[in-house]
Amino acid sequence: MTQTRVMKDTLATSPRVVALNGASLVAEAIRQTDPDVVAAYPITPQTILMEAFSQMVADGRVRTELVTVESEHAAMSVLIGACAAGARVQSATSGAGLAFMWELLWCASGMRLPIVMHLVSRSLSAPLNILGDHSDVMGARDTGWVQLFAEDGQEAYDNALQAVRIAEHPEVLLPVMSAQDGFSISHSVERAEVLPDELVRSFIGTYAPAHSLLDIERPATFGANDDRQFFALHKRQQYEAMERALGVVSAVGQEYGDLTGRSYGLLEAYRLKDAELAVVLMGSAAGAARAAVDKLRAARVPAGLLKLRLYRPFPAAAVAQALAGKRAVAALDRSAIFGAQGGALFLDVCSALATHGAAPRMLSYVYGLGGRDTVPSHVEQVFRDLEAVAREEPALPAQRFLGLD
């Protein structure tokens, strides 16, 4: 083999280093996975993602049938029909667009269709706000979709590729929602590695559905009307598929790590092993939290961070194990649940700790609503509150808003 051939082979299997925003990185991931059908409707801040992908379609860089529909409800309807017919399908949306799909989110998961949805997460009205928070994704947390969260553009790209494998795994066969924070990730340009097309296609493989509406040799029923005898049984099967997804997400993340050097699990601990005080969160605020942990560690405060990558199914056992022995824990939610005793993540963490025999003092915070900035000093305040709670000083309110007077 000549030196020139060696160099060409190396280039063919090496990642490209690019400077792109998170939305464009995910558009590139969609192109590389070469879905049969993509149906979408524009909505801020998702719009730039589908604009980038539609340009790829127009330029002939991907064979996808792009269906530009009249609404997000129609988009999910197209995806359900195409996926039931045996196609590999994907879409993207944000905020009110996801809310408009709400009825059909249940249909997609109940029919066990491996649809991949790229969510550029944002607030819900009113008041009208188009900036990034987790109101939309948390509103869909109980619809039966696997939910992944990204911290940055690189993780959004990596999650987009892994989502295809997770959804189509025969032990799962559930739709996957891969979320990135609106604007703070979707519109922020950063350095990232993009894999060669051949490597991506080798990783995701060919989709071969076990059942298809178009398979006249093996007819199957889709979207059946269940009576009281069978409905609960089918929901039990969904529940069990979600439980199996925990192992599949871990296995796919490890395989991806073997391929790229970037391994992914259910969660990521930062300086947590010997910590006495811990913060739990998801998404782009993890960077600010790490900076706060480092500053406090320099001041001999035993602080640590637990970042969740997988939110549904909730990795309760892994969370409880990671937080075992902590004196006080705060869960930070980028959405509000009105009338509850804390945010959605807070309630899930409390449940995980209670059911697995751990009972540290707990605090709940809402942060970053409507795109409001969250900086390291805000997280430092959380740790100061945790220090007070760990000393058993008077209890703080069950629900606190971070960074607000």
pLDDT confidence of residue 23: 98
Average pLDDT of the chain is: 94
Per-residue pLDDT band for 300 (boundaries 50, 70, 90) equals very high
Cα 364 to Cα 370: distance, rounded to the nearest angstrom: 18
Query: Please, is 193 exposed, middle or buried when counting C-beta atoms within 10 Å of its C-beta (0-12, 13-18, 19+)?
Result: middle
Cα 26 to Cα 156: distance, rounded to the nearest angstrom: 7
Question: Which tens digits make up the pLDDT trace of 114-134?
Answer: 999 999 999 999 999 999 999
Percent of all residues in the chain with a pLDDT value above 90, rounded to a whole number: 90
Per-residue pLDDT band for 7 (boundaries 50, 70, 90) equals very low
Lowest-confidence range among 49-53, 148-152, 216-220, 248-252?
A: 216-220
**pLDDT surpasses 70 at 12:** no
- Do the strands 267-270 and 310-312 form a parallel or antiparallel pair, or are they unpaired? unpaired
Phi-psi region at 325: left, alpha or beta (left = phi > 0; alpha = psi -120 to 50): left
End-to-end CA distance of the chain: 68
pLDDT confidence of residue 6: 37
DSSP 3-state of 39: strand
Cα 7 to Cα 94: distance, rounded to the nearest angstrom: 42
How distant is the alpha carbon of residue 34 from its chain centre?
20
402 and 367 Cβ atoms separated by less than 8 Å: yes
DSSP 3-state of 404: coil
pLDDT confidence of residue 223: 85
Place of tokens 């801020």: 44
pTM for the predicted model, two decimal places: 0.95
241 and 113 Cβ atoms separated by less than 8 Å: no
**pLDDT surpasses 50 at 337:** yes
pLDDT, mean of residues 221-249: 94
Per-residue pLDDT band for 405 (boundaries 50, 70, 90) equals low
Domains of the chain and CATH, by start: 14-260 (3.40.50.970), 267-401 (3.40.50.920)
**pLDDT surpasses 60 at 5:** no
Place of tokens 């799962």: 172
Cβ of 96: how many Cβ atoms within 10 Å? 19
Report which of residues 392 and 168 the model is more confident about.
168
Percent of all residues in the chain with a pLDDT value above 70, rounded to a whole number: 96
Cα 236 to Cα 402: distance, rounded to the nearest angstrom: 38
